[in-house]
């Protein structure tokens, strides 16, 4: 058995939401024997949003791999797109249906 009382996870809010969605999806799908789609829309404080975005931008630039952000409302997506526009070598694109839009951040100078 794993003792998790001293476990510390160093993750950003986007990774936390992704993990939470997946855990809830697995639990509910097994509990009700049905394949539900869980979407968590988190109202990000702007400072949390920008700090997490800064970490994600660094990760995308270093790895040169696309990163999909969790579902956000229209205003949050607009802030992210504006921030990404100011940066070189990155683009952002919204994907998904209107009630579950996500942003993909892509590196434009892949090797």
* Other Cβ atoms closer than 10 A to 14: 21
For 40-97, write each residue's pLDDT tens digit.
Answer: 777 777 888 888 899 999 999 999 999 999 888 888 899 999 999 999 999 999 999 8
Contacts of 37 (CB under 8 A, 6+ apart): 25
pTM above 0.75?
no
Q: Give the torsion through C-alpha atoms of 37, 43, 48, 49, to 10 deg.
A: 70
For 1-28, write each residue's pLDDT tens digit.
Answer: 556 666 676 777 778 888 888 888 888 8
In order of start, what are the domains of the chain with their CATH numbers? 13-107 (3.30.1370.50)
- Cβ–Cβ < 8 Å for 59, 12: no
């Amino acid at each position: 058995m794993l003792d998790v009382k001293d476990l510390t996870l160093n993750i950003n809010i986007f990774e936390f939401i992704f993990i939470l969605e997946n855990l809830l999806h697995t639990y509910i799908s097994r509990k009700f024997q049905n394949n539900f789609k869980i979407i968590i829309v988190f109202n990000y404080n702007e400072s949390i949003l920008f700090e997490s975005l800064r970490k994600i931008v660094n990760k995308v630039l270093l790895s040169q791999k696309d990163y999909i952000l969790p579902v956000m409302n229209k205003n949050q997506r607009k802030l992210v797109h504006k921030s990404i526009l100011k940066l070189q070598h990155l683009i952002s694109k919204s994907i998904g249906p209107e009630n579950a839009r996500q942003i993909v951040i892509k590196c434009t100078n892949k090797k």
